[in-house]
Amino acid sequence: MHSKRARFLVALFAALCLLTFSLSCGKSADDDEDAAEGGSDDSAEVALTPYKSGGQEGSIAGTISFTGAPPAPKPISMEQDPVCASSNPNAAAEDLVVNGDKLQNVFIYIKDGKAGDKNISSIKFDTPAQAIKLDQHGCRYVPHVIGIQTNQPFEVVNSDPTAHNVNVDAKLNDKFNQGQPPSGAPILKQFKRAETVIPVKCNQHPWMRAYVGVLSHPFFAVTDKDGHFEIKGVPPGTYNVIAWHEKYQKGITQSVTVGASESKALDLSFSSEQLAEGKTEGGVLRMLPALELPMLGEHH
Ligand SMILES: [Cu+2]
């Protein structure tokens, strides 16, 4: 009798231990996760060296062209929302904007490389305090493509007299999906990890698309209506530069060496043939890993 009770107490004690153990296991797993959310390249982040300007930064600038005949702009019907239809009666898709032979909305950025003897990924660059703003105006996103640094404020506003639903479909960052009524408060977010490129959709208006490229450094740009871009303040070094456009499964990768105080010219072109070969469309949003081009020989 006495020993039965003792055995029961031992079993109870063991059960309590097990419970405590599993609770603490659960907790420590959460802690690990929280730690992992602290930023990209977690282990490397500790070792990041703050950038020190040597006063010899250069720039990479040029023009992105479109070769061949561009397809006619696709009209968009916004009739499902009368507010949109009346504000934007002759809307056309923005997935391929060619002016003359120049391609707009190309996101062009330094993927990796070395600034002097340091990997650019090992350097910590200042995070701008100024927010990058994405507006919903005329039932489209303005701008259509934006670049932002990790931890820089990202502000989504609605200037339309209709409701939108901002669906940021991030893979490496926290995704969010949030309604925003007319004159609603701005949505303020940050992206903790570098991620190229995050698609943004509106659940209310299926034609609305934007793309956000997040990088841990400030060396990126988006081509304007003349296909022009400029990446400023680039430390002298040799880099892989990627030009990304939403209609192409693969971006263009180009090795670029920027000398001391050099203004490096970089002109690239996307072709209508690649469009015709069916390398685009459909799952283009899911094809982003293709940005890891084989020629780079590495992954994130
Ligand atoms: Cu919308």
* pLDDT at position 284: 35
Rounded CA-CA distance 7/56 in Å is 77
218 against 6, higher pLDDT:
218
- Ligand 1 centre to CA of 289 (Å) is 27
Sorting pLDDT into bands at 50, 70 and 90, what band is 15?
A: low
Sorting pLDDT into bands at 50, 70 and 90, what band is 47?
A: confident
Q: pLDDT digit string (tens) for 222-235?
A: 999 999 999 999 99
* pLDDT at position 274: 84
- Ligand 1 centre to CA of 111 (Å) is 31
Q: pLDDT digit string (tens) for 68-102?
A: 999 998 999 999 999 999 998 899 999 999 999 99
Percent of the chain scored above 70 by pLDDT?
Answer: 76
Question: Within 13 Å, how many C-alpha atoms sit on residue 296's CB side?
Answer: 22
- Ligand 1 centre to CA of 269 (Å) is 32
* pLDDT at position 11: 62
Nearest to 265 by CA among 61, 88, 126, 94: 61
- Ligand 1 centre to CA of 279 (Å) is 28
Q: Which helix (H) or strand (E) holds 128?
A: none
275 against 62, higher pLDDT:
62
Sorting pLDDT into bands at 50, 70 and 90, what band is 183?
A: confident
- Ligand 1 centre to CA of 208 (Å) is 6
Average pLDDT, the chain: 84
- Ligand 1 centre to CA of 145 (Å) is 16
Dihedral over Cα of 75, 146, 248, 228: its sign = positive
Sorting pLDDT into bands at 50, 70 and 90, what band is 158?
A: very high
Name residue, tokens 């669906």.
Answer: 167
Is the CB of residue 155 less than 8 Å from the CB of residue 188? Answer: yes
Nearest to 268 by CA among 293, 246, 243: 243
* pLDDT at position 278: 53
- Ligand 1 centre to CA of 10 (Å) is 62
- Ligand 1 centre to CA of 202 (Å) is 5
Sorting pLDDT into bands at 50, 70 and 90, what band is 260?
A: very high
Model confidence at 30: pLDDT above 60: no
Is the CB of residue 104 less than 8 Å from the CB of residue 224? Answer: yes
Of 8-17, 151-160, 241-250, 290-299, the range with the lowest mean pLDDT is 290-299
Is the CB of residue 84 less than 8 Å from the CB of residue 160? Answer: yes
Q: Exposed e or buried b for every residue in 36-68, given b needs 16+ CB within 10 A?
A: eeebbeeeeeeeeeebeeeeebbbbbbbbbbee
Model confidence at 285: pLDDT above 90: no
Percent of the chain scored above 90 by pLDDT?
Answer: 72
Neighbours of ion ligand 1 (CB under 5 A): 164, 202, 204-205, 208
Model confidence at 116: pLDDT above 50: yes
Q: pLDDT digit string (tens) for 141-153?
A: 999 999 999 999 9
Where does 37-167 have alpha helices with state H? 42-45, 82-87
* pLDDT at position 172: 97
Strands 107-115 and 220-222: antiparallel
Is the CB of residue 222 less than 8 Å from the CB of residue 143? Answer: yes
Rounded CA-CA distance 208/134 in Å is 12
Q: pLDDT digit string (tens) for 165-181?
A: 999 999 999 999 999 99
